[in-house]
C-alpha cells in the first residue's frame, strides 16, 4: 500500500503505544489522540474519516482492555449493571450524533471538536472531588442514563470513545470508585463506538485512502492495535498509581495540549 511509508508505519505504531497507555491508564479510548494525529500525518485524511476510523479502532482497544482489566478481579464480578445503564444512553446518543455530524462541513466539525476538548480540559482541572477508591457503588438509574446519553452524543460527534467526558462525570456523581473507573469506561466504549461506527460506514466517502469504507478507514487499525498492546502494560501500571486528583489533572492537561495543537493546525 503506497500510502503506508516506513515513516507513517512508525508514527502509527507510536500513536498506538500512546493509545494503549491512556486507555489503560485514564479510561480514555484514544480518540483524543487519534483524530488530531490522523489529520496531522496520514496523507489524504479528512476530519470525518479521522473520526470514523478512530471510533472503529477504539472498539478493539476497549475489548482488549475490558478483558484484561476484568480478568484481574479474582472472582469479584465487574460492574455490569452500571456499564449496561451507561451504554444504554450512550449507544442512542452516539449513533444519532455520528449520523448528524457526518453531513456537516469539515471546518464545523473541527471547531466543534476543539471547543469540546477545551471545555472538558478546563472542567476536569478545576473540578473538586475526594478520593473514593473503596466506596460502594451508588445506584441512580436516571442520572446514569443521562451521563451515558451525553457521553454518546459527544462520542459520535467528535470521534472519541467518550471516556474523556464519562470518567469525570461518573466520578463526580460517585457512581464508581476511582480504582475501577477505567474498567467501567472501557466496557461502555465498546457498544458506544460500535453504534457510532455503524453510522459512519454507510456515510458518503470523502477520502480516497486505501481501505476506506464510507467514513471509516480499516487499514489503520492493525498498526494502532499492535502499538496499543505494547503501551497497555504501562497504562495499567499508571492506573494503579493514580489518585483522583492526579487523574483529573493529567486528563485536563492532555486535553488542553491537544486543543492548542488543533487550533494551530486549523488556523495555519
User: Is residue 60 domain-resident?
Assistant: yes
Q: Domain residues for 56?
A: 6-267
Distance from C-alpha of 45 to C-alpha of 32, rounded to nearest angstrom: 16
The pTM for the full model equals 0.78
How confident is the model over 182-213, as pLDDT tens digits? 888 888 889 888 888 888 899 889 888 889 99
Tell me which of 113 and 221 has the higher pLDDT. Answer: 221
Binned at pLDDT 50, 70 and 90, residue 218 comes out as very high
Q: pLDDT averaged over the chain? A: 81
Distance from C-alpha of 160 to C-alpha of 165, rounded to nearest angstrom: 10
Closest CA to 83 of 136, 25, 172, 147: 147
Task: Give the distance, in angstroms, between the CA of residue 37 and the centroid of all CA atoms in the same chain.
Answer: 14
Q: Considering its fold, how many domains does the chain have in total?
A: 1
Check if the beta carbon of residue 156 is closer than 8 Å to that of residue 94: yes
How confident is the model over 23-34, as pLDDT tens digits? 888 777 677 789
Longest dimension (CA), the chain: 53
Distance from C-alpha of 246 to C-alpha of 125, rounded to nearest angstrom: 10
User: Is residue 54 domain-resident?
Assistant: yes
Question: What pLDDT is recorded for position 1?
Answer: 44
User: Is residue 1 domain-resident?
Assistant: no
User: Is residue 21 domain-resident?
Assistant: yes
Amino acid at each position: 500500500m503506497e500510502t503506508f511509508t516506513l515513516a507513517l508505519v512508525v508514527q502509527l505504531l507510536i500513536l498506538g503505544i500512546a493509545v494503549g497507555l491512556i486507555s489503560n491508564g485514564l479510561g480514555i479510548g484514544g480518540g483524543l489522540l487519534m483524530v488530531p494525529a490522523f489529520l496531522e500525518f496520514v496523507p489524504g485524511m479528512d476530519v470525518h474519516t479521522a473520526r470514523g476510523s478512530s471510533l472503529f479502532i477504539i472498539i478493539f482497544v476497549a475489548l482488549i482492555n475490558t478483558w484484561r482489566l476484568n480478568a484481574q478481579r479474582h472472582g469479584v464480578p465487574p460492574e455490569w449493571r452500571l456499564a449496561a445503564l451507561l451504554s444504554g444512553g450512550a449507544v442512542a446518543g452516539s449513533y444519532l450524533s455520528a449520523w448528524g455530524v457526518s453531513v456537516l462541513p469539515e471546518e464545523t466539525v473541527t471547531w466543534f471538536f476543539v471547543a469540546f476538548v477545551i471545555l472538558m480540559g478546563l472542567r476536569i482541572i478545576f473540578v473538586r472531588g475526594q478520593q473514593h477508591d473503596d466506596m460502594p457503588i451508588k445506584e441512580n438509574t436516571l442520572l446514569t442514563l443521562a451521563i451515558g446519553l451525553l457521553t454518546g452524543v459527544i462520542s459520535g460527534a467528535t470521534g472519541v470513545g467518550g471516556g474523556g467526558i464519562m470518567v469525570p462525570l461518573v466520578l463526580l456523581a460517585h457512581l464508581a470508585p476511582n480504582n475501577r473507573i477505567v474498567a467501567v469506561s472501557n466496557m461502555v466504549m465498546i457498544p458506544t463506538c460500535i453504534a457510532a461506527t455503524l453510522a459512519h460506514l454507510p456515510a458518503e466517502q470523502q477520502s480516497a485512502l486505501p481501505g476506506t469504507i464510507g467514513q471509516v478507514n480499516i487499514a489503520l487499525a492493525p498498526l494502532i492495535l499492535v502499538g496499543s498492546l505494547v503501551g497497555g502494560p504501562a497504562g495499567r501500571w499508571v492506573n494503579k498509581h493514580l489518585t483522583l486528583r492526579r487523574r483529573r489533572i493529567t486528563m485536563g492537561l492532555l486535553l488542553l495540549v491537544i486543543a492548542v495543537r488543533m487550533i494551530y493546525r486549523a488556523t495555519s
